[in-house]
């Protein structure tokens, strides 16, 4: 059971910087209309017409960076983090430091994040690519690192009221060969600070508990 719980913590650490980006109140207000629409729209929505002109318009909308991509770009630069994680629901917290360098690529369409830190005394490095899909109206984050050989994916929606994104996805447990649910809540405190909290299923599978919290600071 300790090995299984440990795998949850490792997954949490690996996922922790996929979404490191700052959010100003001005940028957040610009995204409200788009993200509210996402709550009332199905991911399968698509132009009903199949004319060439409408198809090209739809593709143009899909490929063009918008205000949300500008919001993501505000986090370009260097970040430091204070990490606290728990091996079990009632365990004593463990603390460490981390850093990340964020950079927009491909004409402002995606953001890469190169992460450095340590886990249980071992050096750790990882890389993420963060996207906002204009058609799905969804944030998508992928992650690779030096403590695994797979690719993890998280998806989330912006919540204007809490100034946060709740990401959900799967994490592989190498000890069982199965996937387990992962939830991440990322809150934009201000332009230079944010918090990230990770959750995983409790050992009895009847609920979830906080496995990790990171306080990020820019510069």
pLDDT in tens, the chain (219 residues): 433 333 333 454 434 333 333 333 344 444 444 444 444 444 455 545 579 999 999 999 999 999 999 999 999 999 999 999 998 999 999 999 999 999 999 999 999 999 999 888 899 999 999 999 999 999 999 989 999 999 889 999 988 899 888 999 998 888 889 898 999 998 888 889 989 899 999 988 899 999 999 999 998
Residue 56: its pLDDT value, please? 94
Q: Does residue 35 fall inside a structural domain? A: no
Query: Using CA atoms, how far apart are residues 81 and 143, in angstroms rounded to an integer?
Result: 18
Q: How far is CA 144 from the centre of its chain?
A: 13
| 161-to-28, 41, 69, 187 alpha-carbon distances in Å | 10, 19, 20, 11
Residue 48: its pLDDT value, please? 56
Residue 195 CB-half CA count within 13 A: 7
Residue 190: its pLDDT value, please? 86
Q: Does residue 53 fall inside a structural domain? A: no
Residue 17: its pLDDT value, please? 37
Q: Does residue 58 fall inside a structural domain? A: no
Residue 40: its pLDDT value, please? 47
Q: Does residue 59 fall inside a structural domain? A: no
Pairing of strands 138-145, 110-119: unpaired
Domain count for the chain, please give it.
1
Residue 20: its pLDDT value, please? 38
Query: Which of 74, 122, 116 has the alpha carbon at shortest distance from 97?
Result: 116
CB neighbour list of residue 156: distance below 8 Å, 6 or more residues apart: 19, 138, 139, 141, 165, 166, 167, 168, 184, 186
CB 75 within 8 A of CB 102: yes
Give the 3-state secondary structure of residue 81: strand
Q: Does residue 46 fall inside a structural domain? A: no
Q: Does residue 92 fall inside a structural domain? A: yes
CB 122 within 8 A of CB 105: no
Q: Does residue 78 fall inside a structural domain? A: yes
Residue 59: its pLDDT value, please? 94
Q: Does residue 44 fall inside a structural domain? A: no
Radius of gyration of the chain (CA): 18
Residue 41: its pLDDT value, please? 43
Residue 45: its pLDDT value, please? 55
Residue 11: its pLDDT value, please? 52
Any idea what the CATH number is for the domain that residue 8 is in?
2.40.128.20
The backbone torsions φ and ψ at residue 205, rounded to the nearest 5 degrees and listed phi first, read 75, 10
Residue 128: its pLDDT value, please? 93
Residue 120: its pLDDT value, please? 81
Q: Could you list the residue range(s) of the whole structural domain that residue 91 is in?
A: 2-27+69-218
């Amino acid at each position: 059971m300790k090995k299984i719980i440990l795998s949850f913590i490792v997954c949490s650490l690996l996922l922790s910087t996929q979404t490191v980006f700052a959010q100003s109140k001005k940028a957040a207000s610009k995204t409200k209309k788009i993200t509210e629409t996402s709550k009332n729209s199905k991911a399968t929505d698509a132009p009903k017409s199949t004319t060439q002109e409408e198809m090209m318009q739809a593709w143009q909308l899909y490929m063009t960076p918008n205000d949300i991509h500008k919001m993501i770009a505000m986090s370009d630069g260097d970040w430091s983090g204070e990490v606290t994680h728990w091996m079990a629901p009632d365990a004593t917290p463990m603390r460490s430091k981390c850093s990340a360098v964020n950079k927009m690529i491909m004409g402002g369409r995606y953001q890469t994040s190169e992460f450095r830190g340590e886990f249980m005394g071992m050096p750790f490095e990882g890389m993420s690519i963060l996207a906002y899909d204009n058609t799905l109206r969804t944030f998508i984050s992928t992650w690779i690192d030096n403590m695994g050989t797979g690719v993890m994916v998280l998806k989330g929606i912006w919540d204007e009221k809490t100034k946060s994104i709740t990401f959900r996805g799967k994490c592989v447990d190498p000890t069982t060969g199965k996937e387990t649910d992962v939830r991440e809540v990322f809150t934009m405190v201000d332009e230079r600070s944010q918090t990230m909290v990770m959750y995983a299923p409790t050992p009895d599978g009847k609920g979830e508990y906080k496995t990790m919290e990171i306080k990020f600071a820019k510069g």
